[in-house]
Structure 1
Amino acid sequence: MNSKRNQFIVGVFVLLGFSIAIVTVVWLGFTSYFKKGQYAVAYFDESVQGLDKDSPVKYRGVSIGKVYRIGVAPDANLIEVIMQVETGIEHIDEVCAQLKSVGITGIMFIELDRKTPQDVLLTPKLTFEPPYPLVITRPSDIRKFMTAMEDILKQASDLNVARISTQIQNVLTEMETVLRDADVKGISRGLQTTLDRIEKLVDPKHVDKTLTTIEDAVNRVGALADTANRAASKIDGLIASQTPAIANAVTNLREAIVEIRGIAESGNTLVKNTDNRLNTLQRQLTDTLQVLETTADHLQQLSATLADQPSLLIRGTPPQERELPR
């Protein structure tokens, strides 16, 4: 009796286990069947190393699906990636897919974003009909970097480095020849000699007297110009009814007055420029006199020291004091 009851209990547990397994399988199947979402396909013209099945599909950082399958496209050139987008995007044809990496781990995922006209130009061209709604792709950041490096290396290889180096060498040789022929040191010595002569010839008293004379001459010329201008005005009133010859003479007289005024202004400019240069020379002479005065003081000190201790000329140091015997 106990044996039959045990067999009955075991049978009930077996049936219950089979029922639970069947219900689980059916529930999982219906869950995936009624699961919301859509499939889309993207084709990449680059390596998808690090991208696996069930890798995340994100829209601006928000996970909205996963990778359903990865394979080779029918043209045996592109990589076909079928994505299962669960939620978040209604019009899948308005987005663009790009491969992104997670830090330095090498793990890849697919990032979706709104497409631009530039993305339409960069996406690979298909020669077959895709099985699901197509999502255009853009090159990954790594692909862009590698393409830019290839372009730089190509441009560098196209440069004629040997020719450029030869041209630079020729330019440097010509510059060296020009500098050697210019005799820069000789020109510098000539300028220094000329400045020394100018300093010797310039006498401050004579220059001040010359400036005073020039200023007086300029003032006289200005007064003469004013007098001539007044005379021209009077003559202009008198010759209103005279012949054209007199009118031409008056015109010439006015032109002469204008020239006299120009000469006066030139004289004033010359006086100002000469004054500035004399001020500079005076400062330089003052500095030189200060240096000479300092040198004279040093010589006077040296003379006093030698007069007090003549042995410095032979020994170079003052004599040592001798100790007196106790």
Structure 2
Amino acid sequence: MGKIHTRKLSSTFLIGLFVLAGSAILIFVIIWLGASQFLKENVLYVTYFDSSVEGLNTGSAVKYLGVPIGTVKEIRVAPDGKLIEVIMQVEKGVSLSDSLRVKAELSGLAGGKFLQMYFPENTQMAEMYPKLSFQPSYPLIKSSPSGIQEIELAMKDVLDNLRRIRFYDISNQTIAFLESSSKFFNNPELYNIVAKIDSSAISLHRLMKGADTSDIIDNVQLTSQKLLQIAVELEYFTNNLNNQIDNLDMAHKVDNVFVQLDSAIIEARKVIDGLGFRTESLMYGLNETIEDVKVTNKQVRKSLRVVSDNPSQVFFSEPPPKEK
């Protein structure tokens, strides 16, 4: 009986010692992991927005071209009372420069947002950041318009460029050119000269038919007189026509019309180029949103399948890996 009692005490002691050792190791691992995250060196940066940041919250991700590099630490109204100040906690190893920009992007259909850092290729977008009238409290990273705002700006540029095209002047120049051309071709003197030339041709034909008669000399004289009269009238009409063309200044009007059309084509090309760039930026953002929706849908289906097959696993399974 004494030996059995001693064995029971030894077994209980070993079990207790094992539990204490396991608990100590577990506590040490938890403290070590927490300390490594706590002691991780981060740098604070600040940016300012002049538009709504609804959907952006404390703890939202800060990414560089989709790679997480930090989180949002604080969101508040800037000292000037007009801008929104966003303080970011970024990993120390990240290299930043003055040409870097940050913008708020949608992270899903639920309306959440994150901050995206990138180097803009469009110089116009790079210069569209709020101007500060105060000294920022942390190193500044300039903001830029979001994808939706870029589309709004593109549409505004389209309307502005359309307003600058002088359609009224182009229309007036075209109408003046057509009127001048109509006056030129509808000149009665031109029709008279053509009619007299036709009459001379008929007389010449009659002369050739009557070449074997005694009236050939009379016909030649008559035809010569008509040709001389036509030559005089043609010279008069030519001089008069030159004066009319000089007064109409058709060459100058035609040049003005083509200059206006060239200007319109150049403006339209600029509008199309600007809109293409902003549309490409928006499509990039929409692709990211669609990918996020696919991942969310996959996780929801997986969770529903687990709950349906084994409900107890919801309480006793390990937590899912941290989303990046």
TM-score for both structures, normalised by structure 2: 0.42
TM-score for both structures, normalised by structure 1: 0.42
CA radius of gyration, larger in: 1
Q: Which has the higher contact order (CA 8 A, sep 6+)?
A: 2
